[in-house]
Amino acid sequence: MRSALRDVYNDVGALDRDETHRFFSRVRLPSGVFKATEPHRLDDLNRVVRPLLPSDRPLQLLDVAASTGITSLEWSEQLAAAGIEHHLVCGDSHVEGAWLPLPGLGDVLLDHDRREILFLELFGRAVDPSGGTRKSALAVPPIRAIIWLGLHLGFSARHVDLVDPDVRAAPAVSVIQDDIFEHRSELDGRFHMVRAANILNRGYFGEEQLRAGIASLRERLRPGGLLIVCRTHDDGANHGSIVKATDEGWLVVARIGDGSEIEDLIAGGVS
C-alpha cells in the first residue's frame, strides 16, 4: 500500500525538496491553511529590503509564520551571496509533528502534541477528515476512534520535521516553534528586522488580533528596528510596508506594491 508519508519521510528522516513541497501543499494546519510555501515568492521583497539593512553585523533577523521555511532559507542565501553576515531565526507554530502508522489502515500526521490531525491517509488515499473546514479533525468521531486505537494499542509515533531539511541544515538559520501572539521574553529587543509575510492580514484576523500581533512583534525589535508586513495576492504580486520603530511611533521607510493592507493599524498611527 503506497503512502505519501512514507514516500516523504524515509528511513533516515530525509526529505526530497520536490516531494516536500507537494506533500506539504496537502497538509492542513488547525487554522485551516495549508503548510506550503511557494519558492521565490518573496524575492522582490528581499530586493526592496536590502538597501534598508542596518550596518550592524551580524544582522539579527526574525521571519515569523515561516511555514516550511523555504523563503526564510532563500532570504538567508541571498544575504550570504551579498556578503552580509547574519543570523536568521525562522519561526512557525508547527515545526515538528508525529507520524503515526496504522498497520492495515494507513498513516496519520499529527501536530507536535498529538491533538490535531494534519494529514490522514487511509487505504492508500489521502483523506481530509475536517471536510475542508477549520474544525478539529479529532472532533469527528470515526477519526478520533482511529487515532485513539492507534495510540492505545501502542503503535509507535515517530517524530518528524515540518520544515524543509535544508532549512535545518543552513548554518545561518535556526528554527523555533513560535506563536506571534505569545510573549517570548528571550526574543525581546533581539532583532534588527522582523518579517511577517502572509500572516498579519484581514483575511486571517480581526483588528484587535492584528494590533496584538503588531505589538508583540515590536517587542522583539531593537530600537530603530524594521518591521516588514507583506501579503502575497492571488496573482503572485507582493504588497507590503517596511516600517521603522521610533520613539515617536512607526515611520514608513518603504513599500512594495500598494503597501500593507494593515498599515493604518500599525501602532494606530504611521508617519
Q: How far apart are CA 2 and CA 118, in angstroms?
A: 19
pLDDT in tens, 106-142: 788 888 877 788 888 877 777 765 554 444 444 456 6
Q: How far apart are CA 267 and CA 269, in angstroms?
A: 5
What residues are paired with 110 via a beta bridge?
Answer: 98, 117
Pick the CATH number of 43-94+163-268 from 3.90.1150.10, 3.30.70.260, 3.30.200.210, 3.40.50.150: 3.40.50.150
Give the residue among 110, 210, 125 at the shortest CA–CA distance from 155.
110
- CB neighbours of 99 closer than 8 A, spacing ≥ 6? 5, 9, 107, 108, 109, 110, 157, 158, 159, 160
pTM for this structure? 0.87
Q: Where are the domains of the chain?
A: 4-33+97-161, 43-94+163-268
pLDDT in tens, 194-253: 999 999 999 899 999 999 999 999 999 999 999 999 999 999 999 999 999 998 889 999
pLDDT in tens, 67-107: 999 999 999 999 999 999 999 999 999 999 988 887 777 78
C-alpha cell, 92: 512557525
Q: How many CA atoms lie within 13 A of 42 on its CB side?
A: 25
